[in-house]
Structure 1
């Protein structure tokens, strides 16, 4: 029932669409259903003003072209071309998609600009719904790995392993200290073009979101203090994390920063809210049961197995990991490390003027 009341949402060109089932294959019926369940954002619904799409006219017809990763072509075309044909019929347009093995943009031709925009919007919806099925490749991160925090984390790890003989707890479950970070949101970027677009979005967000907020405080100092966990049972924890506190500054600036950054990428169609949360959950992962399977050849351990964190919470509930200053925000690559031991960056913005 919760899935029906709170379905997945995607943002396309400043509009919000409901995705009835993001895990199922898109059919012509589902594609039509996505399009019909459109909700205007902030009351704005004028198609002529909804985006900066460049449309060219040669006097007899209108056209536009835009990049879509080839991995999504099959979703747009559909079985035996059914979805592509339906979009063309509904919007009175002609859609040209590069054939297998070819490179290039998708092109749309129509008798007027509104029809061309409508067809592009339909394609964007399909791409976003398909993107939600893919495993994330990148994430917006804030490094939390200065020398003081790393030192305190390593001491925490040593004490926990020595003093807490907890069921399911292993050294491999602890985060690599050089990779300690705050996650703003995750996304799937399928090719270089999308990585360039996401990098541009982050640089735009610096001017429109980050710097205006940071002007309210001399510097964004963050303290990691206290422990919490993701699920409801301390004896069966999957993720144990450090709480994030703002230090000597205006309250909730960090939360506003995280939420507005996430919104910026959501509305551009490159990110979506996880677990129906209205706000980004501010946390720094310390121990994660998923790390167990990455180093194990035992098939029994390749299924996430929680650990008992009761003793850890009892002894170290208010542990202070120290203070760091937010100096940079990264577009980070998952599973790829840079020469400094942190995640390989695709783009970095400075939080200084």
Structure 2
């Protein structure tokens, strides 16, 4: 009986694998919102020699992915027009090959029924697909009967879904797409790129920002010395009337003549605030919620036009193509003429100065506000049409401002965790009318956050030079 079973099992592998579905079924394509989907079909082969069959007791033909490499940017965007929506990903044709596997049979399901799909989702989204402790991944795998394979390197952006049928891998990919959609719309996934108007290219402005930060961070030492002078004088007076404690030789106790202890009076601490509403000068920077980390780095000083979430290379490539394609429209909006801005004073973005989150320098466009805002509108509309702007961001009204302090940038520690704001009253009292100067807007960048070039500014994915000389008709 055992010999008969082996013969029957061997005969099963000599039968060629037949695809029950048509070729067009496996070559269908659908949109996954930025995921590049490519079916990689693998079938069995009956061209085995008798020697190979003797060498291996069990040989199974299984479905395995041939490649996890995403298609090139050129192929993805071939034929796409500027301003058009992100090109829909294509599912490639079925490719047949063989693979040996020890466990050829698992239950009543034949291993020859395996299928796989490659999804380009972006490494920044891997953790959301895995979930805490791998819970989300395990739930999808058990419910859909699939296996989700992540790449070993964060430089790779594709995952592989393996299942027993095209339907199982399709349903799993749709579930993953829902996770991505929810993640992208939430604050869990931070913005990765933005359109910026660099101001840090002006050395004199960078110097002013450095002096501004040093002045505030050094303010504590100066005011502390002034405000605690009376306390320090009291300490000195106490020090002048020192007590000598003498112990008797035959006793371990210390006797003190309390009549010899000088009486010292201390001036009361002032708890009133100034007429401007500022905190008492005795407050330390820590008490005000001010530390170096909440200041904008001078070499990254800029104006923000539009925030973007570009979570994989495909979306970055699409953004670059859109950006470079609207250079002419930007120039037309500016009438081919340079535009300058003036920065003066400080203002609070939301809330009160006592609990400020963002402090910024207001922007005044000199002789061309309509032109600059129109150029910014061209950029926003192009990226929105290309499907790269979140709906809530597309509806926002642009307010150009130069942020100098932001509580969100705070370096979190055990002592600063409770601070989601800072007291800006003292800063406003000193710098509320600061003249920062006038500056020419020289360039517009597609910038990448958290990555910096050699000059200290955000990494430049693409840039457009703006007019710098007045054109004479």
Q: Give the TM-score, by structure 1 length.
A: 0.61
Matched residue, 1:206? 327
2:464 to 323, 346, 349: 349
1:152-167 → structure 2 map (5 Å cutoff): 152-160=208-216, 161-162=218-219, 167=288
**Which among 414, 428, 432 is matched to residue 299 of structure 1?**
414
How big is the shift at 1:246? 0.6
Task: Give the counterpart of 1:134 among 189, 214, 217.
Answer: 189
1:16-55 alignment, distance < 5 Å: none
Distance 1:253 1:141 in 2: 16
Q: CA deviation at 1:130?
A: 4.2
Instruction: Work out the CA distance in 2 between the residues paired with 1:247 and 1:156.
Output: 24
CA gap of 1:303–1:348, structure 2 versus 1, over 3 A, is farther
Tell me if structure 1 keeps the 8 A contact 2:342–2:363: yes
Separation (CA, whole Å) in 1 of partners of 2:393 and 2:351: 15
Report what 2:14 is aligned to: none
CA contact (8 A) 2:444 2:463 kept: yes
Deviation at 1:135, TM superposition (A): 1.7
The Cα shift of 1:317 comes to 1.9
**Do 1:290 and 1:304's aligned partners in 2 also have CA atoms closer than 8 Å?**
no
Question: Which residue, out of 184, 189, 193, partners 2:310?
Answer: 189
Unpaired segments of 5 or more residues in structure 2? 1-32, 34-83, 92-118, 131-136, 161-175, 224-280, 469-473
Q: In 2 relative to 1, CA 242–52 (structure 1 residues): closer, same or farther, beyond 3 Å? A: same
Q: Contact 1:293–1:304 (CA<8 Å) still a contact in 2?
A: no
Once the two structures are superposed, what CA deviation does each residue of 1:4-42 show, in whole Å capped at 9, x if it has no partner?
xxxxxxxx9xxxxxxxxxxxxxxxxxxxxxxxxxxxxxx
Contact between 1:141 and 1:330, CA under 8 Å: does it hold in 2? Answer: yes
Distance 1:274 1:306 in 2: 24
Residue 341 of structure 1 and its aligned partner are, at CA, apart by 0.8
Give yes or no for the alignment of 1:268 onto 2:383: no
Instruction: Report if the CA contact (8 A) 2:337-2:467 is conserved.
Output: no
Other structure's SS at 1:302 match: coil
Pick the structure with greater CA Rg.
2
SS in 1 for 2:326: helix
Q: Deviations over 1:93-135 (max 9, x none)?
A: xxxxx986698899xxxxxxxxxxxxxxxx9998655422522
Which residue number corresponds to residue 357 of structure 2? 238
Q: Is the 8 A contact 1:149 1:323 kept in 2?
A: no
Instruction: Count how many residue pairs are aligned between Structure 1 and Structure 2.
Output: 273
* 2:444 matches 1:329: yes
In 1, Cα distance between the equivalents of 2:422 and 2:452? 27
**SS across alignment from 2:351:** coil
Describe the shift of the 1:104–1:273 C-alpha distance in structure 2 as closer, same or farther (beyond 3 A).
Answer: closer
Give the corresponding residue for 1:222: 341
In structure 2, the residue matched to 1:17 is none
Secondary structure of the structure 2 residue equivalent to 1:301: coil
Deviation at 1:309, TM superposition (A): 0.9
CA 1:234–1:100: 2 relative to 1, 3 Å? closer
Would the alpha carbon gap of residues 300 and 351 (structure 1) be closer, same or farther in structure 2, given more than 3 Å must change?
same
Worse-superposed segment, 169-178 or 240-249: 169-178
Higher strand share: 1
How far apart, in 2, do the equivalents of 1:169 and 1:139 lie?
Answer: 27
Please say if 1:174 is aligned against 2:229. Answer: no
Q: Verify the 8 A CA contact 1:222 1:323 in the aligned structure 2.
A: yes
CA separation in 1, counterparts of 2:422 and 2:157? 48
Could you tell me how far apart the structure 2 residues matched to 1:52 and 1:307 are?
45
User: Per chain length, whose mean CA-contact separation is higher, i.e. which structure has more relative contact order (CA < 8 Å, sep 6+)?
Assistant: 1
Q: Deviations over 1:146-186 (max 9, x none)?
A: 11211222233344443885622233322111110111222
Give the match's secondary structure for 1:290.
helix
2:288 matches 1:288 = no
The residue matched to 1:308 in structure 2 has which SS?
coil
